[in-house]
Amino acid sequence: MVRFENVGMRYGLGPEILRDISFTLDQGSFHLLTGPSGAGKTSLLKLIYLAERPCRGAISMFGREIATTPRDELPGLRRRIGVVFQEFRLLDHLTVFENVSLPRRVMGEMESQYRAEVEELLSWVGLGNRLNAKPATLSGGEKQRVAIARAVVAKPELLLADEPTGNVDPEIGGRIMRLFTELNKLGTCVMIATHDMRIMERVPASRIYRLAEGRLTVAKAHDFMAQAKRA
Amino acid sequence: MNPAGRTGLMPADSASGATLHTIVAVMSFLACLSLGFVLTLGRLASEWTDGLSGSVTVQLLPSAQISPEDQVKEALRLVKNWPGVFAARALSREDSQKMLEPWLGGGNVLTDLPVPQLIEVTLQPGPVELEGLARALADGVPGATLDDHKRWNAELASFATSSEAVGWAVLALIALATLAIVIFATQAGLQAHREIVEVVHMIGAKDVFIANEFQRHFMWLGVRGGIIGLVLAAVTLVGSSFLMNSREAPVGAQYLPQLVSSPLLYTWLLCVPVVMGLIAMWTARFTVLRVLGRMP
C-alpha cells in the first residue's frame, strides 16, 4: 500500500531531517511510530499524507509512483488517507458536525448522504450533544475527538494519527484506540505516531518504527516493549 | 451560507472582506458616476448634432443690387422650391433682437449695427443637396450665403468624442484598480486563511473545489460592494439633479446637462454591481489557482 525507498527530506535549503527512509505498510497492518521530540515523526507523516515532497528517493502510494503521478490525481490519493493532525487543525468558523463531514463534502456528497453516519460517529466519540458547537467552545480533548472523527468519517484505507491521545483522559484514550483497532480489523492500515507507552501496550501493532536523528529503525513490537521496560 | 445551504469554507466576516467591501463600494460609486458622465455626454452630443443637422440658415447681407424686401422674397422662393426643404421662415426683427439680446443687450441694436437678415430653413429627413442650394443662392440672390452648421457640428462632435473617450478611460482605470485591489485582497485572504486552504487541500479537495469556494465568497463580496456603490451613486445623481432644478439652484444651473434622464443609463448602472461581482470572482479564482498550483 505504501512503499518508501531511500527517501530523504529537507525543508528549503536546510539540512536533511530524514535520511534513507525505507519501509512498507501493507493493507490491514497496524504500525506505531515513535522517537524523541524533533526526530522527524511529523515530517515523515507529512510525506505519507502527501503534504511534502521528498528531496530524494521514491515513494509509492496505493500502487502509484508519486513522482510520476500528475498533480491533479493526488487529491484522489489523499481521499484514501485519514489524518489526525497533532494540533487538530479544525476550521474555527464551522460547527463540529461541519468539521467532521468536511471530507465527505469535499468528495462531492450531499448532506443527506452522510448526516446519519456523522451523527452516529460523533455519538460514538462522546460528542453527540455537541453537533452545533464551534471549536472555540470545545476543550482540548473534545477538539481531538472531532479531529479523529473527521479522519475516519470517509473510511480511509490508510489512517495516520499524530499523538492522537495526547489531550484526552485514559477512558476516552481507550475508546479512541478501540476505534482505531476496529477500523484496522475492517482492513484499514493504521500508523500512529506516539510517545505513549500505554498505547503501545494496547494496540495490535506488529512492528514499531523508531525515528532518531533522521534515520528509521524497525523493531518487532514484542522486542521493543521488552527493551523499553528494561530501560 | 452557500447556495446549498451549507456554511462556506471562507469565514463570512473576515477582516479582508470588510476592507474589500468598502473599496469595491467606493470603486462602484466612481464607476457609476463616470458611466453617468459618459452616457450623458454621448446623449447630449447626439441631441445637439441631430438638432443642428435638421436645419440650415440663410444669411442675407445688405446688397446694392437688390432691395432687402426683394432679397428676402427671392431667397424664400428659391429655398422653398429646393428638393428636401420642409419649411423656410424669415426671422422677424423681433426674433433677431431677442436672439442677440444676451450678447449685445437691449436697445436699438438692429438700427445701429448692420445685422444680416436670417432665414431659418427646416429640412426633411434624408440627404439634401446643400452645396447646390448654396450655389443657387449665391448665383440667384445677391448677398445671400448658406450656413449649414458643418463647422459647429464638427467641433461639437470632436468635443463629445474626446470627452467620451476620457470617460471610458476613467472607467477602464477604475476597472484596473478594482482588479489590482481584488488580487491583493484575495492574496491577503489566502494568507489569513492559509490554515483552511491547507486542511481542505490535505483532506483531498481538488484545486477547483477550493477555487469555487473562494470565488463564490469574493463574487458576493463584489456584488454587495457594487450595490452599496450603486445606491450611493444613485442618491448623488438624483440629488444633484433635484438641486439643479430647484429654486435654490445657482443662476444658469438649469442649462447644465441633466445626468439622470435615460432608461439606458439606469440599465448600465444596474450592470455595475454585476461587473464588480464578476471581476472579483474571476480575479479570486485565478489568484487561488495560482497559489494552489505551488502546493504539493
Residue-by-residue DSSP string for B237-291: HHHHHHHHHSTTSPTTGGGSPPSS--HHHHHHHHHHHHHHHHHHHHHHHHHHHHH
**Range with top average pLDDT, A189-193, B58-62, B172-176:** A189-193
pLDDT at B296: 82
| Binary contact (A75, B206; C-beta < 8 A) | yes
Given a cut of 90, whether residue B64 has pLDDT beyond it is no
Q: In what order do the strands lie in the sheet with A81-84?
A: A81-84, A158-162, A189-193, A30-34, A207-212, A215-220
Which of B11, B198, B203 lies nearest to residue A106, judging by beta carbons?
A: B203
Whether B1 and chain A come into contact, CB under 8 Å, resolves to no
Where exactly are the structural domains of chain A? 90-155
Taking an 8 Å cut-off on Cβ atoms, the answer to whether B204 and A95 are in contact is no
Task: Provide the percentage of residues in chain B whose pLDDT is more than 70.
Answer: 83
Whether residue A172 has pLDDT greater than 60: yes
Mean pLDDT of A157-167: 85
Q: Closest Cα of chain B to A227: distance in Å? A: 36
* A229/A92: higher pLDDT: A92
Q: What confidence score (pLDDT) does residue B15 get?
A: 55
What contacts 24+ positions apart, CB below 8 Å, involve A127-136? A127/A96, A130/A96, A131/A95, A131/A96, A131/A97, A132/A95, A132/A96, A132/A97, A133/A95, A133/A96, A134/A92, A134/A93, A134/A94, A134/A95, A134/A96, A135/A88, A135/A90, A135/A91, A135/A92, A135/A94, A135/A96, A135/A99, A136/A92
Percent of chain B with pLDDT over 90: 6
- pLDDT for res B255: 55
Of A124-138, A154-168, B88-102, minimum mean pLDDT range: B88-102
A14-18: average pLDDT: 91
Does residue A66 belong to the interface with chain B, where contact is any CB pair within 8 Å?
no
Lowest mean pLDDT among A102-106, A181-185, B5-9, B73-77: B5-9
**For the sheet containing A56-61, what is the strand order?**
A16-25, A2-10, A56-61, A64-65
CB-closest option in B7, B199, B204 to A79: B204
The more confidently predicted of residues B146 and B2 is B146
Residue A94 in contact with partner chain B when CB distance is under 8 A: yes
Judge whether residue B185 has pLDDT over 60. Answer: yes
Count interface pairs A-B at CB distance under 8 A.
Answer: 57
For residue A115, the chain B residues in CB contact (below 8 A) are none
Mean pLDDT, chain B, whole residue set: 80
Average per-residue pLDDT in chain A? 88
Shortest CB distance from B203 goes to which of A94, A95, A102? A102
pLDDT at residue B178, rounded to an integer: 76
What is the number of residues in chain B?
A: 296
Interchain CB distance below 8 Å, A76 and B200: no
Mean pLDDT of B176-183: 78
The pLDDT tens digits for B202-258 are: 999 999 999 998 888 888 888 998 999 999 988 888 887 777 777 666 655 555 556
User: Could you tell me whether strands A158-162 and A81-84 are parallel, antiparallel, or unpaired per DSSP bridges?
Assistant: parallel
Contacts of B212 in chain A (CB under 8 A): none
| Residues in B touching A118 (Cβ below 8 Å) | none
Q: Is it the case that residue B259 has pLDDT exceeding 70?
A: no
**Is A113 in the B-facing interface, judged by CB distances under 8 Å?**
no
Model pLDDT, residue B3 = 47
Domains of chain B: which residue ranges? 15-49+153-292, 62-142
For residues A137 and B197, the model is more confident at: A137
CA distances in angstroms from B91 to A68, A178, B58, B83, B139, listed in the order given: 90, 107, 10, 22, 22
- Strands (DSSP E) along B36-188, which ranges? 55-60, 85-90, 117-123, 144-147
